[in-house]
Amino acid sequence: MSVQNQITPSMDQAAVTSIRTLSMDAVQTANSGHPGTPVALAPVTYAIWNRFLRYDPKQPLWPNRDRYVLSCGHASMLLYSMIHLSGIHHVNHAGEVLAEPSLPLDQIKKFRQLDSRTPGHPEFRHTSGVETTTGPLGNGAGNSVGMAIAGKWLAARYNKPGFDIFDYRVYTQVSDGCLMEGVASEAASLAGHLKLDNLVWVYDNNRITIEGDTELAFSEDVGKRFEAYGWHVLHVSDANCLDAITKALEEAGTTKGKPTFVVLDSKIAWGVPGKENHHSAHGEPLGWAAIEGAKSNYGVEPKGQFAVPSEAYEAFRLGMATNGAQESAKWAETFAAYSKSNPELAKEIVQMGAHQLPENWDAGLAPFPWGEVDDPKNPGKKKLAAVASRDAGGKVLNALAKNIPWLIGGSADLAPSTKTRLTFEGAGDFEAKSYGGRNFHFGIREHAMGAIINGMALCNLLPYGSGFLIFSDYGRGALRLGALMEIPVLYVFTHDSIGVGEDGPTHQPIEQLASLRAIPGMIVLRPADANEVSEAYRASLLHNHSPSCIILTRQELTTIDRSVYAPASGLHKGAYVLAEAPGGNPDVILIGTGSEVDLCLSAQKILDSKGVKARVVSMPSWELFEAYCDKNPGYCESVLPRAVKARVAVEMGSTFGWERYVGLEGAILGMRSFGASAPFKDLLKKFGFTVEHLVDLATAQAAGK
C-alpha cells in the first residue's frame, strides 16, 4: 500500500520520535514496564502501521482489516503509542464503535494504573486496537497463525469472482523470547507447512533478554531455522532505516506460497545514552536523566513530557487513516453489491461478526435411544443402549457443523480417537492446496493448536481443538489466555479418566479436571451419557463469551432412560436432580459427573432396598451450576438442601474442590493418587469405583458416621 505523497521525512521522524518518547515517559511515570523494545522498534512499527496496514481507525471492527499482533507483549507501550497516534476509536462492550478515541493522552499517562485502558500487557476487549491478549511469550505468534488461517478459510468460502471480500494480511512482531518458546516454533512449523503467504513475522533480533546477552542460552541461526520451516526469510541490518524496512515489507507483500520472516537487527533502547542493548533497559524504567539525554539526541525538548508535535498526528492522518478510510469504504461498497448477488453467504458473514448462530443451528440433533436395543455383536439379542461419550460427541459435532458453516477445527493428531473429524459430504481438509476444508490437522502440537484456535476465534470463526484430557497440560497457556479474552473456543478432551486402562498413569488424567475448573471463565462440561453430550455441545455454543471444555469417555456409557429419569436439558443448569429419593426426602445425596453418574444410579437401587433413601444429582458443570444459582438463589437449595449433610461426590479424578459441594463432613470417592496400568475393570476395583464401595460410603453417611 503506497503512502500519501504529502507525508514528509520530517513527519516520519516526528512520528517515530513520538512513539519513543511516549513509551519512555509512560514507563517512567508508572515506574514500571519495559521501555527498551518500544524505543528500538518504533521505526519498523511505524512503517508497518502507516505504510502497509490496511486499517481504518474509525472502523476498528471492519472484517477485512489487516491484523497487527505484538507477540512480545511486554513492549505494550509500543502498541499503545500506535493506537493513540493513529486515533483508533473506542469500541464498548456491546460492540458499538464510539466517537471517542480508544487511548487519549490521559490514558497513556495512566499506563499500568488501576482501571486504565493501558494495562501492563495488551488485553483484547479491554483496549480497542488490541487484536489479541499477549504477554506470555510466543502465544501471540501462535494467534497470528490462527488469524492467517482464518483469512485463508474465509477467502476460500466467501470470495467470488469480482468480489474479494477477504484478503487481509497479518503482521506480527516477535522477540528472542517468543522464538525460544516452543509454542512459537510449533506454530511457525505449521504456518510454513500450510504456505500461509498472508502472514509476516518481524523478528526483533536485539540479542538481549532479562538475564543478559542471548548467547547465554540461544545461539542458533534463527533465519536458517525459518528457512527450514518453509518461510521466505529476509534480513534488515539497520532497524532505524525506514527505506530498508519498507523494501523488506514490500517484498513480503509480493511473496507467494510462503509466509515471510524478517530478521531485523536492532539495539534495545536505541538512542538512549548508556542504555543501548543493555539488559536493564529491557525490564525497568530508564530514569529521567537518560530520557532527557535521549530526547536531546532526538532533537526534541528534553524536559517535555507526553509531548506530541502536530506533525506526528498529521503523518498518521495522511497515511493510515486516509488509506484505511478509503479501503474500508471500498469494501463496504463491494460488500453491498456482494450481498445482492450472494445473500446467503453475506448473511453468514454478518452473523459471524455479530457472534450469532444460524437459524435452526441445532436441527437434526435427535435424542439418543435408551432402553433395550438390538445387540450388533449378538444377532437376535437385546442389550441396554450404550455409547462412549466420545462417539456420541462425534455424531453431535457433525450434526451441528452441517448447520454452522464456520464451526471448524481438528485435533492434535488424534481425530480417529477423539472422534472429532467432520465426515459429512463437502467437509474436506484444510490444506495448502485447499484452504476451504473444515478439518484441520494441527499435528502433535497441543500448545500451538490452542493458540491457533484462539486466533481463529478472534476472526469470528467458531473453532474447536481436540486431544486427550491428559494432554490439556501441554496447551494450558493458550487455554488460560482464551478464558482471559472471553472468546468462544471449544475444546473436546477425551480419554477422561483411569478408564483408559492399560495405558497407565502417564495417560490417565487425575488433576486435569480440577485444574481446568480453576481457570476463571472456563466452562468445563463432563456429560453423563449421550444425551447430556448433545446438551453439552448446545451449552458451549450458546455461551459465546466463554471457552468451553467438553470432557468425554473412551468407554461405553449406558444411555440413561429419560422416561424414568429427569431430562438431559438439566445440564444447562450445571447440576440437576436426575433421580429423586423415594418420597422426595433424601437420607443421602449422591453427586456424580460423567461415567460415574451411572454408578450412582446403580447404588441408589441397592440403597433403596436397604431402606436408605438416596437422591442422585448429575453435576456436569460446576461453572454453569454456580452461574445458574447466582441468578436463581433458590435453585441450589432445591438440588443440594442444606439440611441434608450426608453426601457423597463421585468422580474418577482428583478430589480437590469437591468439599464445596459435600461439606467437611461429606465423603468424596475420587482419586488420591496417580492411576495404574491394568484392564479397566481391575482399576475400578483397585481404586474403589464399585457399587459395593459406594453403597458402603453412602450408608455410612446416612448413618452419620
Active site residues: 446
CB 607 within 8 A of CB 614: yes
Task: Give the list of residues 6+ apart from residue 116 with CB closer than 8 angstroms, or none.
Answer: 107, 110
Give dist(CA 278, CA 238) in Å, integer: 18
CB 76 within 8 A of CB 118: yes
Task: Tell how strand 462-468 and strand 407-411 pair up.
Answer: parallel
**What is d(CA 548, CA 537) in angstroms, rounded to the nearest whole number?**
9
Q: Which string of DSSP letters, residue by residue, matches 10-40?
A: HHHHHHHHHHHHHHHHHHHHHT-S--HHHHH
Cell, residue 219: 545461539
| Sheet with 667-671: strands ordered across | 576-579, 614-618, 588-592, 647-654, 667-671
Up-side HSE of residue 283: CA atoms within 13 Å toward CB?
7
Most distant CA pair in the chain: distance in Å?
Answer: 92
CA 397 and chain centroid, separation: 19
Question: Rounded CA gap, 102 and 407, in Å?
Answer: 31
Task: Tell me if residue 665 falls in helix, strand or coil.
Answer: coil
In this structure, the number of other CB atoms found within 10 A of the CB of residue 215 comes to 8
How many alpha carbons fall within 13 Å on the CB side of residue 400? Answer: 27
How many whole angstroms separate alpha carbon 96 and alpha carbon 83? 18
**CA dist list (Å): 687 to 122, 470, 654, 690:** 46, 19, 12, 9
In the numeric block, the cell 516520519 is attached to 12
Residue 282, classed as helix, strand or coil, is helix
